[in-house]
Amino acid sequence: MLINDNPHIDFSNEIIKASLKNLSYDTQCESRDEYLFGLIKQSAQKEKIKQTIFQALASGNFDDYNFYHLCNLVARFATEGEEEARKAIYKRYYSDPFGFCQNCDEEVIVALDGMEGLKRIAETQGKALLENSERYVTHWSATGLQEKNPQINVYEELANAAKENHYINIYYDAIVEDKENRPKWKREKYSYETITEAIEKNKSVRIAEKWKKEISKRDIRKLADDMLRQTERKRIASYLSIFRTIKWPYEYKNLLNYARLESMQNKKWRSKKWDMLVERACDALSFFTGSDIRELALEKLKAIRVPCEYTSLLVKNYKKGDAKLLTDIIMRCKNDNEVHSIAVGVIEIYETNKTKECKKPLEVIYEKMNCGLHRKDIVKILIESKVLSNKIKQEIQFDSDEDTRKLGTELIDFAGRADKR
């Protein structure tokens, strides 16, 4: 929006900064290469920006997620026929084919050049394997290409190329061996026995919604009974992880007692005292309504500066007027991590409790938070509650998240159709 309104201003330094470093909150989950690609193409300084990022990629001095971000961005230019972009990608790969970003390199090369790209990978890896037999390659690049292109017999073409090229032959033999010897992973169905075994190994088990029906009501009660016999906090916390998605089968008194304990979330990460017992107890209580649950929620939400463990207590115990309390909590947050931790709980509250008073707290999060994935959730709730402001409505047409942009486009299209009627 700034670029559109100020065509005389040079924003190239800002675009370059965002190209070389993924500025999203969770760089593993949220990529912005597609968004930046559009900005660069629109910029009057396009050539300057392109040359800078192509050269930066070829240098390869990046940590992993910033590299994925930049590599995918440069690949978009290569897809449009920019030969310098393609050269930068191959130059970086040839310089260190077993580097920390090997998988991203190979994925991009195969996406760009298909079978020919895979043959280049094979030759490069074969040379490296010849120089150092302890190097390790996987079959995933070849198998991935095969899955996306069933009309090509990838392994047969590689085998034919291997007859003419010694290096490709070395690579081909290595990936065939990897494919044949790699153990087949199969998820065990959830049951009393499998969950108990996991907990005995000090693992927590958070069961996804799509799999919770695998566990019988009888097994759920047996697991609850086992939890009630535990005395160690960490062991209780492991059992409670089950009841974050599966409703506790008895009355909630015991869960409330756990939620009232001292929280260890602020203890040093992974220290002997650190555990998630209180947070998981509060999550388990999100299935229940009760005046005593609400009383504890209000006590903690008012007393603690960033009470992220306790927001789930309001999911089934929210009352009109609580929006002010939630807004005050969000305003107390001082950094991205604090805002994000509170945002998760507030979003859950307003997904369950449809009310127009969600507007203020969600708008405050929208302005303070840098997570595109949760920003989309916020926009959805504001739209469903019919309280989306014109400011946000205009902004989301240019959001860095594609799904959020679609929400903005749908709103504009709907308004246009309404005007015509």
* Eight-state DSSP code of residue 188: P
pLDDT tens, position by position, 302-326: 999 999 999 999 999 999 999 999 9
Over range 93-108, report the average pLDDT: 79
Q: How far apart are the first and last CA of the chain?
A: 29
Going by the DSSP 8-state scheme, the letter that residue 51 receives in this structure is: H
Q: Which tokens in the block code for residue 297?
A: 């929620």
Predicted local confidence at residue 231, as pLDDT: 93
Cα angle 353, 358, 359; round to 5: 155
Average pLDDT of the residues in 192-210: 87
- Radius of gyration from C-alpha coordinates of the chain: 26
Continuous H helices in 186-232: 192-200, 217-228
Q: Torsion-angle region of residue 288: left (phi > 0), alpha (psi -120 to 50) or beta?
A: beta
Indicate if the pLDDT at residue 175 is higher than 60.
yes
Tell me whether residue 374 is exposed, middle or buried, using C-beta atoms within 10 angstroms of its C-beta: 0 to 12, 13 to 18, 19 or more.
Answer: buried
Give the C-alpha separation, 406 to 136, whole Å.
42
Distances in whole angstroms, Cα of residue 7 to Cα of each of 119, 129, 397: 45, 52, 19
Q: For 273-305, what is each residue's pLDDT tens digit?
A: 567 899 999 999 999 999 999 999 999 999 999
The two tokens of residue 181 are 């010897």
- Tokens 């960033």 correspond to what residue? 306
Query: Is the separation of the CB atoms in 296 and 288 below 8 Å?
Result: no
The SS3 assignment for 50 reads helix
Please state the rounded mean pLDDT for residues 395-415. Answer: 85
Cα–Cα distance, 34 to 14 (Å, whole number):
16
Write out pLDDT tens, residues 234-280. 899 999 999 999 999 999 999 999 999 988 765 544 444 567 899 99
CA distance 394 to 411: 10
Average pLDDT, the chain: 90
Highest mean pLDDT (candidates 152-156, 183-187, 206-210): 152-156
Each residue of 351-381: pLDDT tens digit? 999 999 999 999 999 999 999 999 999 999 9
Asked whether residue 38 carries a pLDDT value surpassing 70, the answer given is yes
